[in-house]
Structure 1
């Protein structure tokens, strides 16, 4: 079976939801996946083109009065099979986080202690904002998507984000205390 890139698998997965157009796919990514998987708008349409060319999805064009035509994409059986095959394979490697704060802290002895503390305090504030956003998203999913087939799995990934963020906030507090 042909191997595709992660963007292709991501879009195949999104096509299992109600998202059918490139625009709605981008909105879905921005509302949910961007917290752990980034895809630029410029990647979506070329990937959709490949998905259609490969027979993984079909496209239906709808004419809209006063607007450009709207393309809607639908998974084929082949597309569902490719997605399922990828989902069932083990991950190839544990992801490595790229974190500028950790990189700067690693070389922290070469800057003033006050700058290091300021860096960590800002990072902690951003993490606390992110944590509040995650809680808001969780509440939204719990109230508006209750009964949706995917809601439980969305909450699992959100819980991961909340836990990692909470641990990072705790790490910030501990590191700030040690440096102070």
Structure 2
């Protein structure tokens, strides 16, 4: 997947300024695809050059004009083409797994500390996802139907975080036993 396509997904839902798009990205897609503010703006320039998005300039008092981006017909066709294509399974580049794999070269306590630190991060992320799930479940049935596909991505995130935390407990138990 390219960042361009993830931006097309968001812009197909609602036209946005670069700043608004960056915020939406963090709140929605940012849970499973990372992009910096700078990357988003760079991609918006490329999407415009490709003819997949266009923008309207909006004047602001005492500030530079802002650009409100929207998907063009050719951009929507590209989005449909991409959404209909085969996607390769993702492979994780996980430095923590490399650290654990080579962990025989350090004290187990070093590994335990790092696993515990990551565990805290995953617990925090799980709470965020559970809060979003609570918002979704509080919607009417009609509203839930409108957001059912994003909810399915949320469920994947919830499942992933829970599985990671279960795995971390196994690692902690194993490393604690091995240290004795």
Give the TM-score range, shorter chain.
Answer: 0.7 to 0.9
Alignment match of 1:46 (pick from 42, 54, 69):
42
Distance, in Å, in 2 between the alignment partners of 1:169 and 1:122 is: 12
2:106 pairs with 1:130: no
Alignment correspondent of 2:109: 114
**Structure 2 counterparts to residues 1-180 of structure 1, below 5 A:** 6-91=2-87, 93-143=88-138, 147=143, 151-180=147-176
Q: Is the 8 A contact 1:63 1:70 kept in 2?
A: yes
Structure 2 CA distance for aligned equivalents of residues 108 and 26 of structure 1: 38
Q: Is the CA contact 1:19–1:28 (under 8 Å) kept in the aligned structure 2?
A: no
How many angstroms apart in 2 are the aligned matches of 1:100 and 1:33?
A: 22
Structure holding more helix per residue: 2
> Which deviations, in whole Å up to 9, do the C-alpha atoms of 1:93-126 show, x marking residues without a partner?
2111111221111011111122222222222222
CA distance in 1, matches of 2:148, 2:46: 30
Equivalent pairs counted in the alignment come to: 175
For structure 1, list consecutive stretches of 5 or more residues without a partner in the other structure. none
The TM-score with structure 2 as length reference comes to 0.88
Q: What RMSD over aligned residues (CA atoms) do the two structures have, in Å? A: 2.0
Partner SS for 2:47: helix
Distance 2:62 2:133 in 1: 37
